[in-house]
Amino acid sequence: MPDQKITDLTLRRPDDWHLHLRDGAMLQAVLPETTRHFARAIIMPNLVPPVVTGDQARAYRDRILAARPEGSDFVPLMTLYLTEETDPDDVAAAHAAGLIAAVKLYPAGATTNSASGVQDFDKVRPVLDRMAEIGLPLCVHGEVTDSSIDIFDREATFIDRILKPMRKKNPDLRIVMEHVTTQDAVDYVRDTAKNLAATITTHHLIINRNHILAGGIKPHFYCLPVAKRETHRIALVQAAVSGDKRFFLGTDSAPHTDAGKLQACGCAGIFTAPNTMSCLAEVFEAAGALRQLEAFTSLNGPAFYRMAPNEGTIRLVKGDPVSYPAQIDTADGPVTVFDPGFPLHWRVT
Ligand SMILES: NC(=O)N[C@@H](CC(=O)O)C(=O)O
Ligand SMILES: [Zn+2]
Ligand SMILES: [Zn+2]
């Protein structure tokens, strides 16, 4: 039942624990959409070429800082893109210098710009061992790349084939399963006592696979991992609104130009930065759980990353439907904003 009485909600400033900002003109255009509401974000390193070394992370961080809107105190939390050549000493030095908050594991070929990712997981053992020693989290795109596995099963199969053995060999490694999409992943995280958490995106709380495929193909709802059937979406909502500290927001806001998405082989990624907080308020309200929104967006993430929650607050007020642009303009072309398919009544003031 909806929280009928709550129409005004003050939360600690939220953070986004999984964000794509890209670079150059796209960075300039999309960054203000995040800094408007979010204090910090874990910045994904899948640029072309990827952010692999500490020096590259420093340079990318400086480009983000330079692109911040006037007066913004937004803090980018940088990550390194794990490759089979990654040097454990470079990772440890970047961590010690306060430059990075995590390392990102992409199975090679799993998603956008993942070609330089990991094929042979034994080759990255020394890096993972060092990360466990120093307490540096590993963020994981959890899908197998085996083409014989059905795309809707790739997350569940990843848990059995890769994640469980990896955690057995290295139980001290702190892992975030990024953008979980299945009941299987929710159960696995819930059944694990420590060193494992998961981010959940805005869009996976709202769409299921029918949104992509029924009544005509909808490229703007296509992302990876691909949205699953409704039972899985419901499991994600239950995890998000539960208050369980192991689940927190990572929007996976992933801008691609419309030209990149609307073609015979369109890019994976959904751009949710502009309306995420309004969307989430609707989802939590419908679940009768508005009071758990702050844990999901502002408390659980910092707790896992061993950071203090933000000091400031944001205020959400319910009223007439909020309008937001259908697209934002970038020098590379328009980028379509996620359309949740229902009116958004919650405005961030
Ligand atoms: N989620 C997506 O569909 N796309 C992301 C990559 C990723 O997070 O897997 C992107 O970089 O576009
Ligand atoms: Zn991913
Ligand atoms: Zn992503």
Which domains does the chain carry? Answer: 8-348 (3.20.20.140)
> Nearest CA to 94 among 60, 49, 141, 125?
60
What is the model's pLDDT at position 3?
Answer: 60
H or E element, residue 35: helix 24-35
What is the model's pLDDT at position 332?
Answer: 97
What is the model's pLDDT at position 112?
Answer: 87
Token representation of residue 88: 């454990």
Cβ-based neighbours of 152, under 8 Å, separated by 6 or more: 209, 226, 228, 229
What is the model's pLDDT at position 82?
Answer: 98
Q: What percent of the chain has pLDDT over 70?
A: 99
What is the model's pLDDT at position 37?
Answer: 97
Average pLDDT along the chain: 97
With a 6 Å cutoff on the Cβ, whether 212 touches ligand 1 is no
Distance CA 135, CA 127 (A): 12
* β-strand pairing of 8-12 with 313-318: antiparallel
Instruction: Give the residue whose CA is nearest to atom 8 of ligand 1.
Output: 252
pLDDT at 138 over 60: yes
- Tell if the pTM clears 0.90, that is, is over it: yes
Contact assessment for residue 46 and residue 33, using Cβ atoms and an 8 Å cutoff: no
**What burial class does residue 286 get, using C-beta atoms within 10 Å of its C-beta: 0-12 exposed, 13-18 middle, 19+ buried?**
middle
- pLDDT category at 171 given cuts 50, 70, 90 is very high
Three-state DSSP at 253 gives strand
- pLDDT category at 186 given cuts 50, 70, 90 is very high
Cβ-based neighbours of 118, under 8 Å, separated by 6 or more: 82, 83, 84, 105, 106, 107, 108, 124
Distance CA 272, CA 276 (A): 6
Of the candidates 252, 258, 320, 332, the residue annotated as catalytic is 252
Residue 258 is a catalytic residue: no
> Nearest CA to 296 among 191, 201, 173?
201
With a 6 Å cutoff on the Cβ, whether 252 touches ligand 1 is yes
Please report the atom of ligand 1 found closest to the CA of residue 255: 12
SS percent in the chain: helix, strand, coil, step 5: 35, 15, 45
Ligand index nearest the alpha carbon of residue 254: 1
pLDDT at 74 over 90: yes
- pLDDT category at 5 given cuts 50, 70, 90 is confident
Strand locations in 96-157 (E)? 100-105, 138-140
Please report the atom of ligand 1 found closest to the CA of residue 222: 3
Per-residue pLDDT reduced to its tens digit, 287-340? 999 999 999 999 999 999 999 999 999 999 999 999 999 999 999 999 999 999
Per-residue pLDDT reduced to its tens digit, 24-63? 999 999 999 999 999 999 999 999 999 999 999 999 999 9
Per-residue pLDDT reduced to its tens digit, 212-231? 999 999 999 999 999 999 99
Q: Which amino acid is at 224?
A: L
Q: What percent of the chain has pLDDT over 90?
A: 97
pLDDT at 77 over 80: yes
What is the model's pLDDT at position 242?
Answer: 98
DSSP letters, 272-325, are -TTTHHHHHHHHHHHTT-GGGHHIIIIIHHHHHTT-PPPS-EEEEEE-SPPP--
What is the model's pLDDT at position 1?
Answer: 55
Ligand index nearest the alpha carbon of residue 203: 1
Distance CA 344, CA 323 (A): 8
For the CA atoms of 269, 120, 163, 41, what is the dihedral angle to 10 degrees?
Answer: -40
Map tokens 């990024």 to a residue: 178
DSSP code of residue 163: I
> Nearest CA to 266 among 214, 226, 215?
226
pLDDT at 2 over 70: no
- pLDDT category at 125 given cuts 50, 70, 90 is very high
**Residue 320 CB-half CA count within 13 A:** 1
With a 6 Å cutoff on the Cβ, whether 183 touches ligand 1 is no
Per-residue pLDDT reduced to its tens digit, 247-300? 999 999 999 999 999 999 999 999 999 999 999 999 999 999 999 999 999 999
With a 6 Å cutoff on the Cβ, whether 272 touches ligand 1 is no
Say how many Å lie between the CA of residue 254 and the centre of ligand 3.
6
H or E element, residue 249: strand 247-249
